[in-house]
Structure 1
Amino acid sequence: MTVQEAYEEAKKSYEKWGVDVEEALRRLQSIPISIHCWQGDDIGGFEVNANELSGGIDVTGNYPGKAGTPEELRSDLEKALSLIPGQHRINLHAIYAETEGEVVDRDELEPKHFANWVNWAKEQGLGLDFNPTLFSHPKAADDLTLSHPNEEIREFWINHCKASRKIGEYFGKELGTAALTNIWIPDGYKDLPSDRLTPRKRLKDSLDRIFQSEISENYNLDSVESKLFGIGSEAYVVGSHEFYFGYALQNHKLCLLDTGHFHPTEMVSNKISAMLMYTDQLALHVSRPVRWDSDHVVLLDEELKEIALELVRCDALDQVRIGLDFFDASINRVAAWTIGTRNMIKALLYALLMPNDHLQKLQEEGDFTERLTLLEEFKTYPFGAIWDYYCSQMEVPVKETWLNEVRTYEKEVLTKR
């Protein structure tokens, strides 16, 4: 049976329940995923005076072929994008600046240091998002930045974040699509603090100073990202979920939820509808924690599907910016991008193909028997045939055949680095 024939048969199964498959595919095509550049080089970046990775972040593995230059990283991204259906975005960190050999500290970064990224994004038809890098730097050696008791150190990081917002604005103006500039800091303490309030007061003051300058949301959107704990901040993190959600609500910023930044039994999918009651926009960094915030490659697991279902059920696909955040150096890095991003898109398609209106009606009527029956039976509906057809229509490899292209690229490009 051909891909087209399998699609036509599968389509009938879904249409029986009132699912408009063609509309689902059209909607899917319009959803951009912000793909994180740092999977390609293990969060190394291109600073002239590169520093050892810090901030409670760890990348394990030494698979050959890591990108060592901006050109190599962009080439690897192009290969991954050629295997992923749809039109997407690339998410950059400040350490990916290109300064032509000049030492430029992070508080002095300017849009010109990202001109090559913008020109490349224009050629590829991509949007760009941005993140100030508040780790892997001598002034972050004790894992305190925007909440640091030393005013000079705080000022340095405040200025870095201000510069980063200007870079995000530059992306938005040049590319015609607003950048999301997201602030995450590693600040916290390994053991129980004797004062939780004062560091949070300093963090709030720092954020207030960072956001003093008004930037049009046509060009840049600001988000703040929480975390429950990290290596070296097991007992206390200054920028907790409660802190940032409150700050975001009060200051009209986006609250960003990283799926690895909560307790292992805490589901981000369960937070989306509650938070959308009080804010117009949210952002996601989709990752996969294994026992801790280990940033494994995203799988098509139950939580990923539930996140996608919540976005669709809440009619929130235009309100939530979806980004990825994982880094695995134990496998081919281009394959990691491809697996994780394709899985995020698969989850969205799975959600779009559910008879969500009917399921909601069943819940309201109290018919939990049919509701549970359908939820379980749809797990084995011919979703794969719809996915294969979508990939075919988007002119990317169907099924696992994409791995052949990665193997060829590995042989011809990656192993020669």
Structure 2
Amino acid sequence: MTMIQEGYEYAKQAYAKWGINVDEAILGLKRVPISIHCWQGDDIAGFEVDAQELSGGIDVTGDYPGKAETPEQLRSDLEKALSLIPGTHRVNLHAIYAETDGEIVERDQLEPKHFKNWVEWARQHQLGLDFNPTIFSHPKAADGLTLSHPDPEIREFWINHCIASRKIGEYFGRELGTPCLTNIWIPDGYKDVPSDRMTPRVRLKDSLDRIFAAPIDEAFNVDAIESKLFGLGSESFVVGSHEFYLGYALKNNKLCLLDTGHFHPTETVSNKISSMLLYSDNLALHVSRPVRWDSDHVVTLDDELREIALEIVRNDALDKVMIGLDFFDASINRVAAWTIGTRNMIKALLYAMLTPNDYLKQLQEEGNYTERLTLIEEFKTYPFGAVWDYYCEQNGVPVKEAWLDEVKAYEQGVLGHRGKQEVR
């Protein structure tokens, strides 16, 4: 018996004392897909022929060498990251990752054929695909307004882009046999205090109504809408606030997507999950790590990540919450960033599955807060790491930090030959 197996057997005994079946936990964990965002690999550059400078209150800092510059490079980097992450997952695309064979295709004219290479690749690797219209980094979004713009021609352009995106999402779902989550986020807002908040929101509501009126087979495409508190250039007012989208989603049977960086620093998404699940059958997440603001740092195994996972697991919501990631860090190796963030999301779910949630609920109902706090704290040092190591080994991915050696080798052999910069 290897050390990993010995550690696993010890962990099974420790958790069994509390009625936790570790074997069942890791089987359940393997069935949970994480939607991994492609844009970490190229700093949200995309592959448009007439690509624009990044805008919309989004910024990527750092200049670590080796970023993907072609679709083939990006898919290669994703394959490397996926080989280091246990389980079978999904990949999340933005519209700017279309492949048009050198032809300039405006975003409102995008078609499923421009993503056929992504579908073939996803099918080969048994991956689902999710999608997002790209409503930023474009001349028609230069003033920070899109679906709420006072100019009807600009609104029409973005409405048509979103309709086209939903059709692409439907194509993904039909071709791959798993529904695509198509999520709409816009940067619309004002830098200074507005004199009229209602009119832009009336226009946004009308735009969304027109977008969702276009017929789409919901068996293949799931619509989601994403709020934000503020952004660069929209510090004082964002049209698509949490309250706006929550109301719209509930009234129109759409998914409300919560990005963990899109709220006030004192708010936590984990605290919203149970309330929203009372009124909505499903919801979606973009898990990020805000540092003082929506800075999209790589996800770490911090308290909030564990609380998010606990809220999902202890409320039996693994089949109700669609979990995606959304961070972009150009200061470190991008394949490593994917690997760190995704492995941490999965670790958090495993941690939650290895917690005596039912007993802790009982203690709370009984008012036994002393024992509740005691167990919550003691379980932080239970042999969770031994189960994680076993899970990685069983899924054929490196155990502990051994994956970093593979990333270093990939950096030397592949990433280091991109561009003119030398690998550090």
For the aligned pair, the TM-score class normalised by the smaller chain equals over 0.9
Q: Paired residue for 2:257? A: 256
Tell me, in whole angstroms, the C-alpha distance in 2 between the residues paired with 1:135 and 1:214: 25
Helix, strand or coil at the partner of 1:149: coil
- Quick one: distance in 1 between partners of 2:308 and 2:163? 32
Q: CA deviation at 1:314?
A: 1.0
Distance 1:4 1:215 in 2: 49
Residues in 1 aligned to 2:260 and 2:36: alpha-carbon distance in whole angstroms = 15
User: What's the counterpart of residue 421 of structure 2?
Assistant: none
The alignment partner of 1:180 has SS state of strand
**Counterpart-to-counterpart distance in 1, 2:415 and 2:144:** 34
CA-CA distance at 1:214 after TM superposition: 2.7
Task: Specify the alignment match of 2:299 in structure 1.
Answer: 298
1:225-244 deviations in whole A, cap 9, x for unaligned? 00000000000000000000
| Residues 1:366 and 2:392 aligned together | no
**Residue matched to 1:382:** 383
1:16-415 matches, cutoff 5 A: 16-415=17-416
After superposition, the C-alpha distances for 1:137-188 in whole angstroms (9 at most, x for unaligned) are 0000011000000000000000000000000000000000000000000000
| Amino acid in structure 2 at the alignment position of 1:121 | A
Q: Distance in 2 between matches of 1:295 and 1:61?
A: 13
| Structure 1 residue matching 2:44: 3-state secondary structure | coil
Letter of the 2:238 partner, please give it: V
Distance in 2 separating the partners of 1:288 and 1:370 = 31
Whichever residue aligns with residue 134 of structure 1, its letter is: I
Q: CA deviation at 1:11?
A: 1.1
Deviation at 1:10, TM superposition (A): 1.1
What SS does structure 1 have at the residue aligned with 2:223? strand
Percent identical residues: 78
Determine helix, strand or coil for the equivalent of 1:277. helix
Q: Deviations over 1:278-327 (max 9, x none)?
A: 00010000000000000000000000000000001111110010000000
Root-mean-square deviation (Å): 0.5
Deviations 1:212-262 (A, max 9, x none): 023222100000000000000000000000000000000000000000000
Deviation of residue 378 (structure 1)? 0.2
| Runs of 5+ unmatched residues, structure 1 | none
Amino acid at match of 1:389: Y
Q: Distance in 2 between matches of 1:337 and 1:244?
A: 29
Moved over 6 A (4+): none
**Can you give the 5+ residue segments of structure 2 that lack an aligned partner in the other structure?**
419-424
